[in-house]
Amino acid sequence: MADGQVVKRAKFKSSVKDPGVPGVLTMTREKCVFKPSDPSSAAKLNIEFKSIKGHKFTKEGSNKHALLNLTQDQGGNYIFEFNSFPDRDVCREFVATAIASSVEAGRTGSERSAVPLHNEQLSTAEMERRIKLLQEDSELQKLHKQFVIGDILSETEFWATRMKLLDDKASRKPKQRVGLKSDMIFNVKPSSDGQSNRVTFNLTPEIIHQIFAEKPAVRQAYLNFVPSKMTEKDFWTKYWRAEYLHSTKNIVAAAAEAAEDEELAVFLKQDDILVNEARRKIRRVDPTLDMEADEGDDYTHLPDHGLPRDGSKDVMDSQYEQYRRSFLQDLNRHAAVVLEGRAIDVELGDTRSVAEALARSKQVELANEASDGNANQERLDRISRMAEIEDLQAPRDHPVAPLSIKDPRDYFDSQQANALKTFGDTLAGTKQMTSDLSTSEAYGSLRESISEIKAVGLRAPIVKPEVALKVLNGLNQNISSTKYQIGKNAHESVLDRLPKITRDELLLHWTSIQELLKHFWSSYPITTTYLYTKVGKLKDAMSKIYPKLRDLKESQSDFRHQVSLLVQPMLQALDAAFAHYDADLQKRSAKSGERPNGFV
Amino acid sequence: MKFQIEDVTVYFPYDHIYPEQHAYMVELKRALDAKGHCLLEMPTGTGKTIALLSLITSYALSKPSSLVKLLYCTRTVHEMEKTLAELKLLHRYQRLHLGDAARTLALGLSSRKNLCINPAVVSAENRDSVDAGCRKLTASWVRALAVENPNIPTCRFYEDYEKAASDAVLPPGVYTLQDLRAFGKEKGWCPYFLARHMVQFANVVVYSYQYLLDPKVAGIISKEMQRESVVVFDEAHNIDNVCIEALSVSVRRQTLEGATRNLNKMTQEIQRFKNTDAGRLRAEYNRLVDGLAQRGNLPIGDTWLSNPVLPDDILKQAVPGHIRKAESFVSLLRRLVQYLKGRLETENVEKEGPVAFVGSINAQVGIDQKTLRFCYDRLHSLMLTLEITDTDEFLHIQTICDFATLVGTYTRGFSIIIEPFDERMPHIPDPVLQLSCHDASLAIKPVFERFQSVVITSGTLSPIDLYPRLLNFNPVVSRSFTMSLTRDCICPMVLTRGSDQLPVSTKFDLRSDPGVERNYGRLLLEMVSVVPDGIVCFFVSYSYMDGIEIMQHKLVFIETQDVVETTLALDNYRKACDCGRGAVFFCCQRQAAQCVGRVIRSKADYGMMIFADK
């Protein structure tokens, strides 16, 4: 142990049932080596601790074997049987420290070296993340299988170009502003310690934000009271006291407490800010669902006219009226606030600034409403839109559709198809386009516009709208016609017309080449032997794909033209890589004569 | 599109038409030709409203000499707004094809609360306070005083409207309530009084049922409509209820206490007038000897809710001598209130006919039937004499007089029911005395008699032959149309058991059963997690609802007793569905047929209904 090495007799077993191969197990800090007693046995082992993920062992007992099981991160495991439990325990402890230190070394190592030369030691979490990524993305999995398992790229190299995917934070970083949670979090149940009558409420910044957003009176009270009149803690204590009183539904008791404590009363009374807001909002509500207007028109229900109905009995003493508040109201209010969305950009946490920001945003809203005269018109338009019966309407054609590229691939596929098309009938196409204008006509029009500009100066629009429209139509027509010829619907692309096998093959080659080229080009300039061998391997892999591509091109009879158009850029890219490789090699050999030529 | 139905060219604002719409129009036209009433049932989502509007306006256009006018009655103001929006579309289309020949005036009519633009008045909380706030500024005596004393506030919109006199007219067009308010603001004229004035000249008037059915309102709004008018009751499946409610009154302890306060106030006022202006009271007395309480030409600002009994039943005689004097009338009302107080003190549910009830009043406090009948008009006259403008404070005594007039007028079709407590809370005494009308045909009878064509229509009028009997009329056309569906856009389902195979039930005794509750909760939770956009939930009890868990999937909105809140919740619910966030709306239980009958608004919609009850 002192010299960092343990040597014990042990049997190596491929499984628990296996009788095992007797031999000597030697453990150093970096690895453990098993030498069978019988030198002819194939069960020689040389395991690096870096590849060991964990270890298991059997419990000490009379009729049990003293086993130690080392699990490898690739899934395999090694089982050793020791002669005695003490022997096993010594090894077990050694293994544990060795694994721990190697994990640590691997981690710091990967952080330090930009281009790690060896496989880094990965934490389980990291491993799981990679596995998950591979499972989620079949394309990635194919590449991984092809290159990493096929030993062209190392695990580290493969993932190095995909740091972004691995970077947990980057991938989960919100790209849009997050709205409010649907849950009503501030309706938290208090926790009780079960012994005294004390209850505890946990407040988080999120909860405070929700309370302030949904209960403007509480927000206002906070701004008024804290810290001049009371501490923040007292404030929230009072708030929860009020909530507790509400939850008992004893309105009389609530009124009594409120009468004694004017600050508490603020929480117990109806939220005036909310009432005013509701009154303001009801005026802007869609009249086709305004039930308040119905009530305002209902002469049958003059007090006590008509038949008595449920609910009309809720007559309450007016002195208590202001303390009534229902859970249902809270629910509606909550949903309304969530729907409005998060209106402030302040970091949650500083209670005061949150309160102030919310108060400010309300003021802005008020000002906007006051100045927004269009809202009325919009509401009217909306009503008349809603009144229309859509399916009785003749189909409306939109002369101008806004450009909205939802799936860029779809768009660029069609562009590619477009290119194909023009490539295919270049002559016909260009002729058609130019046949309208003779040279002199074109010249004339050019001169005309120059003199016009001279006379009037440059004025927008520089291009005549009709001309612009014509050009745009010409281009669009081309796009749509290729689309039409090539794919019946928007989701089809050129590739979809090819037989499935060909298409899959093409796509596979395409992604493979991409991956290889990425690594290839990123390896230059070659500064180390590591890069040198890497480039060599990459080049070999690429040259294996090259003939396949050519075969693919040749084998197609029906789509030969289109396939060759697709394959062509790939071949060109490969050619460029090969050329670069050869040139670089020549330069190297010219520079250092001692390096032999036979690397290729 | 334009097409012919027999001799009428129909202007229909769409390029296509559903077959049932066409069939509906054909039947409707026959009814109009026959100058008779009709009963038409056609499901929601088939464009019934536009078919009605399109045919009737086209019918009127094809017969320019006739005075066909459309009185379109909706149940609610928001339905009124929807109807007017459709009418706008139609009108735009007709203008396009006919030019100025299609000029019409169409407007909605509602209460002051919904039309007033005077910020000081309209900000009042409810309709009655807005009405009273308006009277305080527009009553003839207030305005007369203001001429002498400029410090007395008046309403500038009303004054300007009065000043414009016959120039104050609405140009042709279609006016929703909002449009009326906007027009009023622009001109500085009171939209409420302008609209009430324009109703007689309009080609189309859209208002709510009560403006025709409730004698209290109809008496002042719909007095002067031509016989040639076509009356439409849309969504009329509950029309019998509206009829019954229009003639029913209930009296509670609070009513009687309020009435007593009102009477005290009136006594004070009478005393004050005696001291300062005794001539007024004498003038009133003489007017009452001459004839009628207020049938004269009252200034438009002084009109109050009209007599609660139907126009034919109003006695056109001199007011009986013993209530012509203000004090004796007030003391008579005191006796009546006292009698009613005594009747409320009962331990058991009591039921009586009006004849017996009136007999008992006569025996105990000496008020005969004829005097009872005059109570309402006599009260109205007294309030005018006393120049009372805060009418919202005097609703209780008005209720008592309505009650007296109704009970003194009708001997059949009514009963008086006294209940000592609410059956849901038997331990809390809350006595109520109801005068319930149970003959729906009473209130609607004058409408059938006055107008040559009355159209009763709805999405659900089954059984359709029930309605002629309920409302006592003979339709010339009575038809049900079915909806033609080109695809399956509705999917009704019945669910009798929960996932644990236990039956689910809304029966009262099972309502609080935890197993039943759990099953409903789970059903709802599963639904909210898979249904996109919106779910509307009709539950008999909120206890089924586990709001917290639902909120993880959808926003939750709930109908409450507060209409403002419910309206905002509905508006938000729609927004949440439109923006994709999704929401659940909880409603109180209503008639199942009415709930699911409205699951789609048009054939472009789709929906699923689940009935979860064994």
Distance in angstroms (rounded) separating the CA atoms of residues A525 and A523: 6
pLDDT at B36 over 80: yes
Average pLDDT over residues B399-425: 88
- Asked whether the beta carbons of residue B557 and residue A293 sit closer than 8 angstroms, the reply is no
What is A261-303 written as a DSSP string? Answer: -HHHHHHHS--HHHHHHHHHHHTTS-GGG-HHHHHHH-STTST
- Asked whether the beta carbons of residue A388 and residue B89 sit closer than 8 angstroms, the reply is yes
- Asked whether the beta carbons of residue B548 and residue A184 sit closer than 8 angstroms, the reply is yes
How far, in Å, are A391, A398, B287 from residue A395 at the CA level?
Answer: 8, 10, 68
- Asked whether the beta carbons of residue B78 and residue A183 sit closer than 8 angstroms, the reply is no
Alpha helices in A341-438 (DSSP H): 351-371, 374-387, 408-424, 426-434
pLDDT at A404: 64
pLDDT at B574 over 60: yes
Average pLDDT over residues B289-308: 64
Residues of A in contact with B218 (CB under 8 A): none
Residues of B in contact with A285 (CB under 8 A): 567-568, 571
- Residue partners of A419: CB distance under 8 A and separation at least 6: none
pLDDT at B453: 93
Helix (H, G, I), strand (E, B) or coil at A30: coil
Least reliable range by pLDDT among A174-178, B71-75, B364-368, B558-562:
A174-178
pLDDT at B481: 93
Q: Report the candidate in B442, B309, B403 with the shortest Cα–Cα distance to residue A305.
A: B403
Residues of A in contact with B76 (CB under 8 A): 291, 293-294, 297
Residues A40-83: tens digit of each pLDDT: 777 777 777 777 777 777 776 666 677 788 777 766 778 888 87
pLDDT at A313: 41
Task: Provide the pLDDT confidence category of residue B289 given band limits of 50, 70 and 90.
Answer: confident
How far, in Å, are A189, A240, A286, B585 from residue A195 at the CA level?
Answer: 17, 20, 54, 41
How far, in Å, are A177, B135, B302, B371, B404 from residue B398 at the CA level?
Answer: 58, 16, 16, 16, 10
Task: Provide the pLDDT confidence category of residue B207 given band limits of 50, 70 and 90.
Answer: very high
Residues of B in contact with A337 (CB under 8 A): none
pLDDT at A142: 79
- Distance, C-alpha A195 to centroid of its chain: 47
Task: Provide the pLDDT confidence category of residue B435 given band limits of 50, 70 and 90.
Answer: very high
CB-based burial, B563-587: b 16+ in 10 Å, e otherwise: bbbbbbbbbbbbbbbeeebbbbbbe
Compute the nearest-CA separation of A353 from chain B (Å): 28
Whether A305 has its CB under 8 Å from any CB of chain B: the answer is yes
Among partner residues A294, A326, A390, which is closest to B602 by beta-carbon distance? A390
Q: Suggest the residue from B114, B186, B484, B529 to mutate for an interface test with chain A (most A CBs closer than 10 A).
A: B114
Average pLDDT over residues B534-551: 68
User: Within chain A, how many helices (H) and strands (E) appear?
Assistant: 25, 9
Tokens for B484, please give them: 């033609």
Output B225-228 pairs: Cβ under 8 A, ≥24 positions apart.
B225/B69, B225/B71, B225/B200, B225/B450, B225/B451, B226/B67, B226/B69, B227/B450, B227/B451, B227/B452, B228/B66, B228/B67, B228/B68, B228/B69, B228/B452
Residues B172-190: tens digit of each pLDDT: 999 999 899 999 999 999 9
Closest chain B residue by Cα to residue A274: B565
Beta bridge pairs of residue B446: none
Distance in angstroms (rounded) separating the CA atoms of residues A313 and A311: 5
- Asked whether the beta carbons of residue A332 and residue B569 sit closer than 8 angstroms, the reply is yes
pLDDT at B7 over 80: yes
Other C-beta atoms lying within 10 Å of the C-beta of residue B516: 20
Residues B474-486: tens digit of each pLDDT: 999 999 998 888 7
Whether A286 has its CB under 8 Å from any CB of chain B: the answer is yes
pLDDT at B493 over 50: yes
Stronger pLDDT, B441 or A314, i.e. the higher one: B441
pLDDT at B161 over 70: yes
Type of residue at A325: R
How far, in Å, are A87, B147, B242, B309 from residue B248 at the CA level?
Answer: 100, 42, 10, 10
Tokens for B330, please give them: 């007030």
Round the average pLDDT of chain B to a whole number and report it.
Answer: 87
Type of residue at B261: R
Q: What is the pTM of this model?
A: 0.67
- Asked whether the beta carbons of residue A302 and residue B561 sit closer than 8 angstroms, the reply is no
- Asked whether the beta carbons of residue A331 and residue B556 sit closer than 8 angstroms, the reply is yes
> Which residue ranges form the domains of chain B, and what is each CATH number?
2-109+199-229+451-480 (3.40.50.300), 249-437 (no CATH), 490-612 (3.40.50.300)
CB-based burial, B84-100: b 16+ in 10 Å, e otherwise: bbbbbbbbebbbeeeee
| Backbone phi and psi for residue A85, each to the nearest 5 degrees, phi listed first | -65, -45
- CB neighbour class for B490 (10 Å; exposed up to 12, middle 13-18, buried from 19): middle
Of A54-63, B316-325, B501-510, B560-569, where does the model show the most confidence?
B560-569
Distance in angstroms (rounded) separating the CA atoms of residues B546 and B556: 10
Residues of A in contact with B244 (CB under 8 A): 307
Q: β-strand A66-72 against A52-57: which pairing, if any?
A: antiparallel
Distance in angstroms (rounded) separating the CA atoms of residues A543 and A504: 20
Distance in angstroms (rounded) separating the CA atoms of residues A300 and B443: 12
pLDDT at B356: 94
| Residue segments in chain A with a per-residue pLDDT below the cut of 50 | 1-2, 107-119, 169-174, 310-316, 423-434, 483, 486-491, 595-600
Residues B77-92: tens digit of each pLDDT: 888 999 999 999 999 9
Rg of chain B (C-alpha set)? 27
Closest chain A residue by Cα to residue B247: A306
**Over A451-475, what HEC string results?**
HHHHHHCCCCCCCCHHHHHHHHHHH
How far, in Å, are A206, A240, B92, B502 from residue A189 at the CA level?
Answer: 16, 11, 58, 31
Q: Are A573 and A517 in contact (CB under 8 A)?
A: yes
Task: Provide the pLDDT confidence category of residue B41 given band limits of 50, 70 and 90.
Answer: very high
Whether B428 has its CB under 8 Å from any CB of chain A: the answer is no
Q: Report the candidate in B262, B288, B219 with the shortest Cα–Cα distance to residue B400.
A: B262
Other C-beta atoms lying within 10 Å of the C-beta of residue A32: 22
pLDDT at B285: 83
pLDDT at B586 over 80: yes
Q: β-strand B453-458 against B230-233: which pairing, if any?
A: parallel
Tokens for A571, please give them: 């071949």
- Asked whether the beta carbons of residue A300 and residue B246 sit closer than 8 angstroms, the reply is yes
Beta bridge pairs of residue A25: A8, A34
Question: ipTM of this model?
Answer: 0.77
Q: Report the candidate in A397, A385, A286 with the shortest Cα–Cα distance to residue B602.
A: A385
Distance in angstroms (rounded) separating the CA atoms of residues A328 and A333: 9
How far, in Å, are A420, A493, A497, A545, A547 from residue A554 at the CA level?
Answer: 19, 22, 18, 14, 10
Tokens for A276, please give them: 């005013």
Helix (H, G, I), strand (E, B) or coil at A523: coil
Distance in angstroms (rounded) separating the CA atoms of residues B378 and B323: 8
Closest chain A residue by Cα to residue B432: A308
pLDDT at B328 over 70: yes
Q: β-strand B105-108 against B204-208: which pairing, if any?
A: parallel
pLDDT at B417: 92
Among partner residues A300, A331, A390, which is closest to B547 by beta-carbon distance? A331
Helix (H, G, I), strand (E, B) or coil at A239: helix
Residues A356-405: tens digit of each pLDDT: 888 888 887 777 776 666 677 777 777 777 778 877 887 766 556 656 66
pLDDT at A135: 77
pLDDT at B262: 94
Average pLDDT over residues B521-525: 83
Whether A260 has its CB under 8 Å from any CB of chain B: the answer is no
